[in-house]
Amino acid sequence: MHLQRLELRRIELDLVTPFRTSFGTQTRRDILLLHVTTDEGEGWGECVAMTEPVYSAEFVDAAALVIAEHFWPTLTAGGAVSAADVATRLDPYAGHPMAKAALEAAVLDAELRAAGVNLHAYLGGRRDHIPSGVSVGIFDTLDELLGQVQGYVDDGYARIKLKIEPGWDVEPVRLVRELIGPEMGLQVDANTAYGRTDADHLRRLDDYDLLLIEQPLPEEDILGHARLAAAIETPVCLDESIVSLQTAEDAIELGAAEIINIKPGRVGGYLEARRIHDLCVDRDVPVWCGGMVETGIGRAANAALAALPGFTLPGDISAASRFYHRDIVTEPITVHDGEVAVPEGPGMGFELDHDFIDGITTSTTTLDAP
């Protein structure tokens, strides 16, 4: 395809409830959407970078700038392009995987829509429904936590994930395990909140039959995760540490990743995410699809990715109503009997609610190809 125009659209959406993790509390999402027009049609992508560089070094203002000033001019200077070319053309630029992933997603959506192909089929997904887990933040009180978890149990989710941090870990886990019973899947996510000296404390979580403990140590501490994995029974899952196929391979080789959470935005796009999936299948390492509080654009694409056979654990692809009063797509993701349906329409499988998007747009920048 020949790329003709890129629209960078900023929207704001309030969260249903504040979402607190070890790196801060979100009450509103400032979201960058990418709208690509080509000689064959159009496509949309969503950048998952947060407002501030707290989860990663990326943040939404920087993503918009690097796309406008560097990525788009480079991508359009090379003639016709396919989604598979995007990563190669942008490889000279260090970092910014979330910005690269958003641009690749928009091009991929346009390419697949023009061909009448769904992302699910393109990636090689084998299921039309996938199990749905829900991510539960940190609360001021244990009673608030238990009330929220009970609501998600009543909603039929297949798995509960608890955000933890020092001072909010063993007791919340114990009470939630008592509440949901021994059969329901339960896991925890530390978002890098612990250090190498916390192994004895984290070993106390072994009593609660957790599916995994996600990213307990800092992103760069692969060796520390390997040592922790050898010291505790709960499987160690890496999230923030996995930024590419190479880092995934190294972490598996070192014994630091017994399970991997694949987030397309964090690894540079859905095509790299599929390569990591294939590696993990080859190495017999379970994977699951994490979430970044996406709108229906990213949520639909994540569901397509999670339909691949190596995704054997429920991901964070919850109902859109988990985070937003109203989604930006016409048919938001919902949960039925613990599962979500994989969108089957062309491209990423969604249709946008353009009137609603126009009403929540805070800025728009339009860039034409040279």
Active site residue 263: yes
Residue 9 sits at the vertex; the CA angle it makes with 73 and 327, to the nearest 5 degrees, is 140
**Are residues 149 and 222 both part of a single domain?**
yes
Q: Is the domain of 135 the same as that of 106?
A: no
> How much is the average pLDDT of 347-368?
97
pLDDT, tens only, 165-203 = 999 999 999 999 999 999 999 999 999 999 999 999 999
Catalytic residue among 20, 159, 163, 299: 163
Question: Looking at residue 78, what is its pLDDT?
Answer: 85
Global model pTM greater than 0.85 = yes
* pLDDT tens-place string over residues 288-318: 999 999 999 999 999 999 999 999 999 999 9
Q: Residue 22 pLDDT more than 90?
A: no
| Exposure on the CB side of residue 134, measured as CA atoms within 13 A | 28
Co-location of 133 and 154 in the same domain:
yes
CATH code of residue 70: 3.30.390.10
Q: Where are the extended beta strands (E) located within 239-359?
A: 259-262, 287-289, 339-341
For residue 128, what is the domain's CATH number? 3.20.20.120
Residue 155 pLDDT: 93
pLDDT digits (tens, 9 = 90+) for 105-156: 999 999 999 999 999 999 999 899 999 999 999 999 999 999 999 999 999 9
In a domain, 347, yes or no: no
What is the span of the domain harbouring residue 154? 120-341
The reported pLDDT for the residue numbered 24 is: 83
3-state class (DSSP) for residue 144: helix
Which residues lie below 8 Å from residue 268, measured CB to CB, with a gap of 6+? Answer: 87, 97, 100, 101, 104, 243, 244
Same-domain status, 175 and 285: yes
Give the residue-averaged pLDDT of 89-95. 97
As a whole number, the mean pLDDT across the chain is: 96
Active site residue 161: no
Query: How far apart, in whole angstroms, are the C-alpha atoms of residue 323 and residue 273?
Result: 24
Position 348 in a domain: no
**pLDDT at 293 (0 to 100):** 94
pLDDT computed for residue 23 by the predictor: 80
Average pLDDT on 68-76 reads 97
Asked if 76 and 144 sit in the same domain, the reply is: no
Number of structural domains the chain divides into: 2
pLDDT score of 356: 98
95 plus 176 within the same structural domain: no
53 and 154 inside one domain: no
Catalytic residue among 29, 263, 274, 299: 263
